[in-house]
Chain A
Amino acid sequence: MTKLRVKVTGKGTQDDPFRVDLPTYAMVAGSEEYADKARKVLKSVEVLIPEDECDDRGKPSLEKIRKKYRGQPAWDRPDLKLPK
């Protein structure tokens, strides 16, 4: 697994929970960075992701993720954007 810091999306609601837009990950506890600390609005977090989804610099690889999840609507699409 490779550890990296990525942007969190969502609002923390049932329909739109705080999450990382990657297919497979585990958040690292205690790594949370808040956009609004009083209201616990998450901005970024460290996650562990599979090594075969990373490029040589240890960042999520668009090419590798599209290949690994080929044919899956959520991950194999031309406009796919990965969190930074």
Chain B
Amino acid sequence: MGRQYSAGPQASRLAWYDRNPISGVARYNGWNVAPHSLTLRVAYTCPSGKKAMVEFLQVRAIRAAAATTAGLVLVFWEFYPLGGGPYIFLLGSFRTNVVGDETVQAIGSAITMVASDKIEGYSQDGSTAGEVDIHIAYKATEFDA
């Protein structure tokens, strides 16, 4: 009599993208943004009973008007896991003063989040006068844990 194998509990579990997925995109698109202190522009927290696949993160900053004194322009995504401190995951910066100077950073299939994990998109421009265009975005698919 041959041995019988069970497919096991995992065989009946749907893939993550079939477990009531909800796809979401959010972004901050600021044109001609004046110098500003550190500001949390976009935040996402993974709800209870869910996980989330972060499929891309983007940051972009372009000098739109020259500053009197150029300071550090920063755009970044920070990952705040349930089990640890924050970590800057994706960062763009420049300190130059020519119109059109830019930083563009993007990452795909970035991270899998569990309930309570958070991603936070920030910007800062330490210049005196001048303007910067700022773009911060993410796309995530939330699904049953």
Given A17-B122, A18-B37, check contact A69 B42 (CB 8 Å).
no
Contact between B30 and A30, CB atoms less than 8 A apart: yes
Contact between A19 and B48, CB atoms less than 8 A apart: no
Complex Cα distance, B116 from A40, in Å, reads 31
Which of A18, A22, A70: most chain B CB closer than 10 A?
A: A18
Total cross-chain contacts (CB, 8 A): 80
A29 proximity list for chain B (CB < 8 A): 28-31, 33, 134
Contact between B38 and A23, CB atoms less than 8 A apart: no
Min C-beta distance of B21 to chain A, whole Å:
15
Contact between A40 and B34, CB atoms less than 8 A apart: yes
Complex Cα distance, B48 from A30, in Å, reads 32
B27 interface residue per 8 A CB criterion: yes
A42 interface residue per 8 A CB criterion: yes
A71 interface residue per 8 A CB criterion: yes
Complex Cα distance, B122 from A73, in Å, reads 23
A69 proximity list for chain B (CB < 8 A): 45, 47-48, 115-116
